[in-house]
Amino acid sequence: MKVCIIGSGLVSLTLAKVLIQKEIFVDIIGTNKRKQHHFSRTLGISKSNIDYFINEILNIKKISWDIKSIKIFTEKNLKKELIKFDNKNTTVFSMIRNTQLQKLLFEKLKKNKFVKFKNNLNIDKEDYKLIINSDPTHSYVKKFFSKKIDKDYNSYAYTTSIFHKKIKNDTAYQNFTNDGPIAFLPISNIETSIVYSLRSIEKKNNLEMNNLVKKFNPIYSIKKINNWSRFKLKSSNLRNYYKDNILAFGDLLHKIHPLAGQGFNMSLRDIKLLSDLIDKRINLGLDLDSSICQDFQKKSKDKNFIFSSSIDLVYEFFNLENKLNYNLFNKSINLIGNHKIINSFLRKFADNGIRY
């Protein structure tokens, strides 16, 4: 069996690694428009997905940093946490640099006899049992995958990392400021990644962003703030996941606000589902065909939409703080955060998504 994967980003490389372990031949089609990640870009991977990655795909323990708790604040009360998520001093999620994970996956794939990297964009559908497209610039997108539900946040996410004095750095901090959420995400005892989603299309310079970091700095004795990068914030959900034996994948299916760090986690859950569907066919002695695309959409589309809509709801909910009475808002959040059953449900929802 031979499968074609269009795109050479993290989702494509991870999926390729899963497929070759089933001894499926994979052609990875790259493009000259491939975007390189800024060195400050990081991923937050949930505990269940980290376990899946390590046990089923690749041991990434050496390049990951475990987070034991998450504390959430608002600008109107920087000293007292509204909500705290932890799991009895065990890992809640782990942080990984995009560039490190991409490099590790690429090194493993290029040595494998089941993988070929190609630049030829003229793909014959008849050459492959299944074509999986995660490249937003490919012509298939305009032909087959242009219908989607879009939302423009009219804002940008700014990312960087800070170096600071050595501390026990295993707590993530999320502050819902008047201008958007800022997250401090540890990646070592001396370095922390920052993502600030500003509700403004006006570009901020490094000095302005550095001042905002200092304003909302929760605990760090900062030695250095690296240069910033930014990207436009949009969310989208694809209306149709496939055309014949061509399956859209990754951010083409669902793009969400980064405040909860769930984008790559959603794609990992999609990879696990697709892997399970392929295993069932192999175990039954069946070949791969377009029906697997239909099954994948049937099992994932509604759940992905509900999950991505939930992330958007969280974003809009915290935006209400500026419009509501603060004491009423504060009491409502405390009621949610301190309720054991609700707190546990939210942790499991963030960790596992909506189970298939």
- pLDDT digits over 38-65, tens only? 566 899 999 999 999 999 999 999 999 9
**Closest listed residue to residue 11, CA positions, set 49, 64, 47, 40:** 49
Q: Are 32 and 136 in contact (CB under 8 A)?
A: no
Computed over every residue of the chain, the mean pLDDT equals: 86
Beta bridge partners of 86: 69
Residues written for the chain: 356
- pLDDT digits over 297-321, tens only? 999 999 999 988 888 887 776 666 5
CB burial readout 232-252, b (16+ within 10 A) else e: ebebbbbeebbbebbbbbbbb
For the whole model, what pTM was predicted?
0.88
- pLDDT digits over 7-22, tens only? 999 999 999 999 999 9
May I ask the CATH class of domain 2-352?
A: alpha beta
Instruction: Give the C-alpha separation, 148 to 232, whole Å.
Output: 18
